[in-house]
């Protein structure tokens, strides 16, 4: 028995809703096309990375059980027009492409340029190898406005990143009996929710508690960056006092400098130049900031950490 058959049999034993069409898609679409990372976690029903950002953020293909849940509850069938929000490495798109066939229409949108580049490469290779229909891919910065070029007669939307509520354009573009799956909630946790548009009314069905990263890129500005550095700098100064590596006079001087840095940020849009100008005294704080990052209650200071749908799937 091969790895995929063993995985799928295990999912069925565990109660996963694995239909014939979903099983055929998994058996036909090989995950190694979509990631260069080892597939050991995937075969154990865990997410597997497909790309790592320069900031160290890892983007994943969802765990197989989660992919099965998304495919089952979206009720995708042959010939459907489908929109996927969030790449998931292209693997979910390839599974859906297999189910809807050449008569279907599929578009994938994602806010990350590196992820979209990865997506185009792997999906083009997969389409060539499998002889399947090409999948349209677009980079979009947010979901506040309707993405251009959506499939005609759109029937299914799968959103793979957390959102607080459905965008207003969703109901306008879905036909009757359209279905949306989306993790609704905040960054700490969501409920995977099924929305069905039936004869002018909306039916909402909560499915499972999950944890997905946000669907949109954070709207950070140069002042956000400076505010973050100033906040961490103040904590580092206080740590320096506790460890007795800073004298009170030097600590007061550094706190004054941090206040001046925040003030200067309001008069310039060039954060890089501003930090370079203040780099001499900021260097005094870096060893303390490194020490601070080792503290058990210190969260990673990385704007990338919540970007592009990286997540651990949690299904009770």
Distance CA 166, CA 143 (A): 9
- Domains of the chain by start residue, with CATH: 3-210 (3.40.50.150), 222-300 (no CATH)
- Residue located via tokens 């014939």: 20
3-state class of 159 per DSSP? Answer: strand
Tell me how far apart the 2 most distant CA atoms of the chain are, in Å.
73
The first and second tokens of residue 283, run together, are 């260097």
Per residue in 277-294, pLDDT tens? 676 677 777 677 666 655
What are φ and ψ of residue 253, in 5° steps?
A: -65, -45
Distance CA 29, CA 83 (A): 19
- Residue located via tokens 């990865």: 118
Per residue in 244-270, pLDDT tens? 888 898 888 888 888 888 787 766 655
Distance CA 175, CA 183 (A): 21
Which of 40, 224, 33 has its CA nearest to residue 130?
Answer: 33
Gyration radius of the chain's alpha carbons: 23
Which of 68, 97, 94 has its CA nearest to residue 9?
Answer: 68
The tens place of each residue's pLDDT in the chain, 316 residues long, gives 699 999 999 999 999 999 999 999 999 999 998 998 899 989 999 888 887 765 555 678 888 998 999 999 999 999 999 999 987 889 999 999 999 999 999 999 888 788 888 889 898 888 888 888 888 888 887 777 888 888 778 889 999 888 888 888 888 888 778 999 999 987 667 889 999 988 778 899 999 887 777 665 444 455 556 776 777 788 888 888 888 888 898 888 888 888 888 787 766 655 555 666 676 677 777 677 666 655 444 433 333 333 223 333 433 3
Yes or no: say if 70 and 99 are a contact pair by the CB < 8 Å rule. no
What are φ and ψ of residue 165, in 5° steps?
A: -160, 165
């Amino acid at each position: 028995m091969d790895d995929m058959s063993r995985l799928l049999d295990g999912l069925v034993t565990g109660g996963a809703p694995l239909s014939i069409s979903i099983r055929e898609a998994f058996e036909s679409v090989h995950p190694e096309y979509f990631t260069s990372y080892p597939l050991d976690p995937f075969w154990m029903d865990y997410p597997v990375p497909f790309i790592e950002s320069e900031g160290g953020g890892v983007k994943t293909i969802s765990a197989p059980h989660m992919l099965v849940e998304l495919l089952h509850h979206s009720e995708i069938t042959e010939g459907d027009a489908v929109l996927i929000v969030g790449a998931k490495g292209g693997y979910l798109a390839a599974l859906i492409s297999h189910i809807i066939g050449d008569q279907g229409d599929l578009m994938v949108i994602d806010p990350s340029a590196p992820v979209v580049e990865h997506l185009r490469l792997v999906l083009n290779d997969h389409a060539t190898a499998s002889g399947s229909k090409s999948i349209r891919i677009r980079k979009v910065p947010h979901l506040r406005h309707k993405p251009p070029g959506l499939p005609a007669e759109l029937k299914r939307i799968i959103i793979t990143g957390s959102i607080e509520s459905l965008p207003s354009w969703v109901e306008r573009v879905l036909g009757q009996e359209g279905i949306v799956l989306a993790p609704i909630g905040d960054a700490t946790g969501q409920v995977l929710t099924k929305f069905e548009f039936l004869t002018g009314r909306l039916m909402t069905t909560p499915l499972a508690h999950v944890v997905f990263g946000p669907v949109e890129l954070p709207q950070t500005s140069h002042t956000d960056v400076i505010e973050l550095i100033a906040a961490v700098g103040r904590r580092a100064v206080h740590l320096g006092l506790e460890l007795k590596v800073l004298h009170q006079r030097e600590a007061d001087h550094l706190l004054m400098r941090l206040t001046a840095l925040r003030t200067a940020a309001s008069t310039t849009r060039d954060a890089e130049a501003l930090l370079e100008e203040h780099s001499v005294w900021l260097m005094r704080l870096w060893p303390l900031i490194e020490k601070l990052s080792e503290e058990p209650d210190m969260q990673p200071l990385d704007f990338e950490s919540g970007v592009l749908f990286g997540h651990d799937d949690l299904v009770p």
